[in-house]
Chains A and B, each alone.
Chain A
Amino acid sequence: MSRTDAVFGALALLAAIVFPWLAGFRGTLPNVALYVGIYMILALGLNVVVGFTGLLDLGYVAFLALGAIVTALLLSLTRTESGIDWAIGVSHDVVGEPLLGFDGAILIILLAAGLACALLGVLRGIPTLRVRGDYYAIVTLGIAEILYETALWDDTNLLNFTRVTGGAFGIKLPSSHVPHLFGQKLYYDQPVFYYLVLALVVSAFLLTHHLNRSRVGRAMAAIRLDETAARACGVDVSRHKLIAFAVSGFVGGIGGGLYTLWSGTVAVKGLDVWQSILILCGVVLGGMGSIRGTAVGIAGLMCLGELLREDFGGVSVPPEARFLIYGLLLIIVMRFRPQGLLPPVRRSRAVTDAEHAALTTGHARLYDLRAPAGAAAAAGADAVEGT
């Protein structure tokens, strides 16, 4: 991280911390902030596959949906007189205590949602390992559509998935089942929820930043740039793609879990391909592979979406037309700035003469990885900027 990045990051974090003190925790603005935060987590997760590894994913909504459903189901587990039951749907009122109602249980539940999505990422990834480019995009699109249709399937009693997903109505979280953290209800208008989302946004930032700068992140970049050359360097391409899918899924699942808490309802109907496109637009607009670009891109897009909901003196944009405007924006950006608004910076600091001398004298064998004493201390370890 360069000094400018650190300063900007600290300022943005500070602004996010004090924001609700100015705008309050209740009302439109803080609610939009939560919405942006949740989609920022999703976009950062998608960026691992699209930006770092260079695979176009058109079905990312599957992770949002699965994470949201897993969270909703675990939260609605209810201990009744006759045993354990789900409290799903409006008409399916169950009287009893939530099974996972203890304080902080939500953290375990979010972890479970993330792990479920990491597993989905790997399972979805295995059949796609051999396809690249457009073919990969089509497969992800297809798998997301299959999952979407399956979730709404209520043809027979045997394969009635709406009993789990709530079908067209979705799963509504009973107010008695809203989880607690640090003694506060995780409601969209509670400070604890705002700061939970903020903490997870920051975690997603750090997680993907460290990944990108690591050995594993370098291998992902190699796969993006040239798979054949990556293999020649000893990179296990399948393994690193699966790692990317798992990490991307995990982050998406956490985002999905927060979506459940934020909206209180999970309806698969609303989680269609357009959600995938929206998150992808955020990544592409901001700059694929760039973490800060992704954050800025998705934030801008979500804020624009909210603005378009507003009524401008009797004139309002119909919901269907919003994607027209997104599309136009995408065309304009791709025409004049194809790398995105804040593309990744791939620069490296030049090595100074003193460092050069320390690095190149006194090492006996070129093939030894370890530096001789003294040389290591003189060399800058963070010469390369990754994000």
Chain B
Amino acid sequence: MSDSYVVLETSRLRKDFGGVCAVKDVDMEVTSGTITALIGPNGAGKTTVFNLVTGNYDATAGSVRFTDAAGATHDLLGRRPDRIARLGIARTFQNIRLFGEVPTLDNVKLGLHSRTRRGALAALLRFPAAAEERDVHDAAYRYLDFVGLAGKSHELARNLPYGEQRRLEIARALALAPNLLLLDEPAAGMNPQETEDLMALIRRIRDLGTTVLLIEHDMRLVMGISDRVVVLDHGEVIARGVPGDVKNAPDVIRAYLGDEAI
């Protein structure tokens, strides 16, 4: 790819919790149009990296730079999560965070929030409601259809089975029209068939032009769809590269299985 660029770049990114260093000088690059997997044993600091990128945590040191769809580069550290979301980084959560008490369609409408304009005064006086609401409805419905939930548009989000809740969360994130999508263990709790469908969905998301960075423990998914893999252990990057190389790296095997496995 000749016109690819670096969407996300962390440099010497560090996060201390009290005396514990959860993320230690992480340098990472995510290239546009790719699917990058961030893997590592439990407690390696993967979700912490996500939370640093999305502004949910303040970094102790280092930098995070993001290039949006228009080509402008932004320094993300110190920005609020909602601002980062509006710049074009959408995410899902390890423990699903849907708006359970409202219909699935409304969950996706919330994702469209930052892409619509109508302010408070216009809302109170109902001006000009109908046209924009129709656009929001239609767009939200298409996102549901994209993830295969069109038939469930009127159901309450909390009533969906687990795998569908994960896909709904992805639809909501996609509604932000993100340049970078962060998926935190999207296949957790899914059966093999659901995982298979999820892999196809993630590929389709990449084909839309959205770069994907995902955390995942399911190695079949990681090895099956990732263009690049970054391995974290104890907050440090211990390996990076194409899936085939990373799989056989001694450091990675040691981190997952212990010294005896080498």
Residue numbers of A with Cβ under 8 A of B are 206-207, 210-211, 213-219, 221-222, 225-226, 228-237, 243, 247, 346-351, 356, 359-360, 363, 366-371, 375-376, 379-384
Contacts and interface: CB of A to CB of B under 8 A. Distances in A.
A243 B97 CA distance: 24
Contact of B105 (A231, A371, A376, A383): A383
B219 interface: no
Contacts of A356: 145, 150
A360 B154 contact: no
B154 A363 contact: no
A231 B120 contact: no
Interface residues of B, number: 60
B208 interface: yes
28 contacts: A206-B126, A210-B126, A211-B123, A213-B129, A213-B133, A214-B124, A215-B123, A215-B132, A216-B118, A226-B97, A226-B98, A231-B81, A232-B93, A234-B82, A235-B114, A346-B156, A348-B105, A350-B154, A351-B153, A351-B154, A360-B141, A360-B142, A366-B146, A368-B139, A369-B115, A376-B134, A379-B141, A381-B130
Q: Which of A210, A211, A235, A369 counts the most B-chain CB atoms under 10 A from its CB?
A: A369
Interface in B145-203: 145-146, 150, 153-154, 156, 172-174, 176-177
A228 B154 contact: no
Interface of B: 54, 56, 80-82, 85-86, 90-91, 93, 97-103, 105-106, 109-116, 118-120, 122-126, 129-130, 132-139, 141-143, 145-146, 150, 153-154, 156, 172-174, 176-177, 208
A368 B146 CA distance: 13
Contact of A369 (B81, B97, B112): B112
B93 A381 contact: no
Given A216-B118, A226-B99, A383-B105, A371 B135 contact: yes
Contacts of A368: 139
Contacts of A375: 138
Nearest to A231: B81
Given A237-B82, A366-B208, A349 B99 contact: no
B134 A221 contact: no
A384 B103 contact: yes
B82 A235 contact: yes
B233 to A, nearest CB: 27
